[in-house]
A and B are shown apart, each in its own frame.
Chain A
Amino acid sequence: MTTYQRLEKVLNSVFEGEIDPGGITLRSNLRDDVGMNSIGMLYMVMGLEEEFGIKFKNTDFPELKTVADVVACIEAKLK
């Protein structure tokens, strides 16, 4: 499974019933297209930490605007 696919799995699980599973692409904006607020961001990040075994910092959040940004951040942490 690619990083994006694993991220999609986490998003679909955390936001079950709240987002259209097929509607997320790499270009999707987290706030405008996925409908994420600051608490939603927290839920997503905690799911990602569990899934990938990584740790996010508060300073990572301003960089996370689109799904592609999240994938890039995860891959940077996995290196």
Chain B
Amino acid sequence: MAKSKFTSIFNIKYLPMDYGRAHYFIYRLLKVRTLGLDGKKYRRGFSGGAVIAANHTGFSDAVTLGGSFWYRRVFFLASEEVMAKGFLSFMLKLMGCIKVDRNISDIEAIRSAVSVIKNGHTLAVFPQGRIEKTEEVADIKSGAVLIALQSGAPIIPVYSRPPASKFSRRTVVVGEPICCSDYCKKKFPSVTDINNISSILLEKINECRDAYEKGEKK
């Protein structure tokens, strides 16, 4: 049976997420401004499945990304420590969080993440792997690239930081999508290929940071 536009907009399975998206929309209006690299308002630059790779400065990053991309269903990879408690874990799962055990090779989490993207949704990943309050993004892990290569989806680099004042809106800078297939066409990408694409992603996230700094100085 062909998927109708109605079922892609309204799907009872995603009702909790869509309820959350309504709140994200309001949060976005009040507290978030999303810009492109040129400093102008970001126009929806991608369709279909995608991986959003953003820096991680605090727990509010997920809500900020949800606000910036409120028009998409955004799933998140969350560590096992965050999703350990019973009721919180249940709620986070309803809101689209996929549990990842960072201490093992969590192939099942990767598979769930790839499946989400292949269904045309967006997956947000924090490639630093932990909260880092530094301004510059110095190092990232290769999980986001691995997921993007497996799913064939583009990676959207994003940079954001909490504003200096609690009353200011938070700026999110979205970079140009990275198509991994431009950098690796092999059936089995090698470790070297994945590390190369990860370096490019790191560079693009820092490009977004430079655009962010330029915007804040104006």
Contact = CB atoms under 8 A, between A and B. Distances in A.
Interface in A34-62: 38-43, 45-47, 50-51, 55-58, 61
Given A14-B190, A38-B104, 15 more contacts: A10-B188, A13-B187, A13-B188, A14-B188, A16-B191, A17-B192, A39-B141, A39-B143, A40-B191, A42-B146, A43-B191, A47-B188, A55-B111, A58-B101, A61-B104
A54 B83 CA distance: 29
Contacts of B105: 38-39, 41-42, 45, 58, 61
Nearest to A47: B188
Contacts of B146: 42-43, 46
B188 to A, nearest CB: 4
Contact of B190 (A15, A42, A56): A15
B62 interface: no
* Chain B, interface SS category: loop
Nearest to B103: A38
B107 A58 contact: yes
Given A39-B141, A46-B146, A46-B150, A18 B107 contact: no
Contact of B108 (A13, A39, A58): A58
25 contacts: A13-B186, A13-B187, A13-B188, A13-B190, A14-B188, A14-B189, A15-B190, A15-B191, A16-B190, A17-B190, A18-B192, A38-B103, A38-B105, A40-B191, A42-B105, A42-B107, A42-B110, A42-B146, A43-B194, A50-B188, A51-B188, A55-B111, A56-B107, A58-B104, A61-B105
